Amino acid sequence: MDGPGRPSLFQQQFAEQAYRLCLAGATNDDLAEAFDVTRRTVDRWLQAHPAFTEAVRAGRLIADGEVAHNLYRRAVGYTYETTKVLLSGGAPVSVSQTVHRPPDVRACIFWLRNRRPQQWAENRPVPARDDRRNWWDGADTAERSNAPA
């Protein structure tokens, strides 16, 4: 018993199960459903059982890292080897092929907006405009100042 009141429903094997569930993207609500308890109970287990807490944290860290890696690959493009099975004269023939996936602009935008929001956020503040002409417009300005009025 953990203290006064009803005995805890927590079992040591929940840590490994939570790890596997978190690898698959489970939230605390999902864990509560899987263990047939309330979300509040899962929150208490996270506070009271360090092995459970570490399992949940590790599972989520690995899952998030894998997703980030695959998002990055999609953003920059990638190449992979595969085998395609074709019919030749009625018999299956395996053919190796190289497949190239080009960079995905939407993945690039998503990656940059989340990794560098100061530079890439859609609604970032626009710096105040300088009404003076830009340096590349200097030739145009000089020509106008020398032109007869």
85: left (phi over 0), alpha (psi -120 to 50) or beta: beta
Residues 29, 72, single domain; the answer is yes
- Given this model, what pLDDT does residue 41 score? 95
Indicate the average pLDDT of the chain.
Answer: 86
3-state DSSP: the chain helix, strand, coil percent, rounded to 5? Answer: 55, 15, 30
User: Does the pLDDT value for residue 147 go beyond 70?
Assistant: no
pLDDT tens digit sequence for 74-84: 999 999 999 99
User: Does the residue 65 lie in any domain?
Assistant: yes
Q: Which domain holds residue 67?
A: 9-76
Total number of residues shown for the chain? 149
User: Does the residue 87 lie in any domain?
Assistant: yes
Structural tokens at position 141: 């300005």
Number of structural domains in the chain: 2
Question: pLDDT band at residue 8, thresholds of 50, 70 and 90?
Answer: confident
Q: What is the pTM of this model?
A: 0.63
Which stretch of DSSP H or E encloses residue 141?
A: helix 138-146
Residues 37, 58, single domain; the answer is yes
Residues 15, 72, single domain; the answer is yes
- Given this model, what pLDDT does residue 5 score? 74
User: Does the residue 86 lie in any domain?
Assistant: yes
Residues 71, 17, single domain; the answer is yes
Residues 30, 46, single domain; the answer is yes
Residues 71, 14, single domain; the answer is yes
Question: pLDDT band at residue 136, thresholds of 50, 70 and 90?
Answer: low
Residues 46, 102, single domain; the answer is no
